Homo-oligomer: A and B are copies of this chain.
Amino acid sequence: MKIRVYYDDTDAGGIVYHANYLKFCERARSELFFQRGMSPTQNNAHFVVKHIEADFIRSAKLGDMLEVKHKILDLKNASLTLIQSVWLDDIKLFEMTSILAYVKEGRPIRIDPKSKEFFLSIF
């Protein structure tokens, strides 16, 4: 997924505000659903971020066209471990490993086999 850096993504340091890389990664995850005409929330169940570990390697600036890539590390019964990275051409700017819990009305639930198959097909 391609993401353009606009003014509101940057800060007075002249570069992308650090928390916005998490935003870019979330947009990329959601876009996998939207592109299929679906919502990230199915039957009131959806993934929420529980844990992240992230490296801020280089900075993006206004007008840059970034690319967000991802790879599934693990899909368990009630969670998904994902590694996502943000690139400017062939330079890696950011990398994040996230553990996403599958929740319904705020409580963790088991991912049913059909959804599991679906998540494996889109991620």
Which residues from chain A sit less than 8 Å from chain B, CB to CB? 4, 6-8, 10-15, 17-20, 22-23, 26-27, 30-31, 33-34, 39, 46, 48-56, 59, 61-63, 65, 106
Min C-beta distance of A93 to chain B, whole Å: 12
How many copies of this chain does the complex contain?
A: 4
Residue of A6, A13, A53, A55 contacting most chain B CB atoms (<10 Å):
A6
Contacts of A14 in B (CB 8 A): 12, 14
| Distance in Å: Cβ of A96 to nearest Cβ of chain B | 9
Which residues of the other chain, B, contact A31 by a CB distance below 8 angstroms?
Answer: 4, 6
Q: Which of B4, B23, B39 contacts A62 (CB 8 A)?
A: B39
